[in-house]
Amino acid sequence: MDVRLKKEVAEELITYKLRRIQSIIEDILSRWKEKSIEEFLQKAKEGILLEAENDAIELKQLVSEEEKLQNLLKKLS
């Protein structure tokens, strides 16, 4: 099944999703009082941040999804 969207609508949807992902990323970092995704992931990996494993997994998935959406948005431009 094919679905067609106007370019502007697709851009709006992608931008909305990106903002939501970025908000969740900020929430995770804030919860752990971290400013950097890389530092948070490293500290979680090393066990410095106890019980951060689930958030680290979610953060990795969010970053991956964010990258895919950024690439999709670039293709639309």
In a domain, 1, yes or no: no
In a domain, 24, yes or no: yes
- Taking 3-state DSSP, the helix, strand and coil percentages for the chain, each rounded to the nearest 5, stand at 75, 0, 25
> What residues make up the domain containing 14?
7-76
In a domain, 34, yes or no: yes
- Is the pTM higher than 0.85? yes
Q: For residue 58, what pLDDT is reported?
A: 98
User: Taking the C-alpha atoms of 36, 40, 42 and 43 in order, what is their torsion angle to the nearest 10 degrees?
Assistant: 130
In a domain, 14, yes or no: yes
In a domain, 28, yes or no: yes
In a domain, 2, yes or no: no
In a domain, 33, yes or no: yes
Please write the tens of the pLDDT for every residue from 39-51.
999 999 999 999 9
pLDDT band at residue 77 using 50, 70 and 90 as cut-offs: confident
In a domain, 32, yes or no: yes
Count structural domains, the chain: 1
Alpha carbon of 16 to those of 27, 54, 64, 66: distances in Å?
17, 25, 16, 11
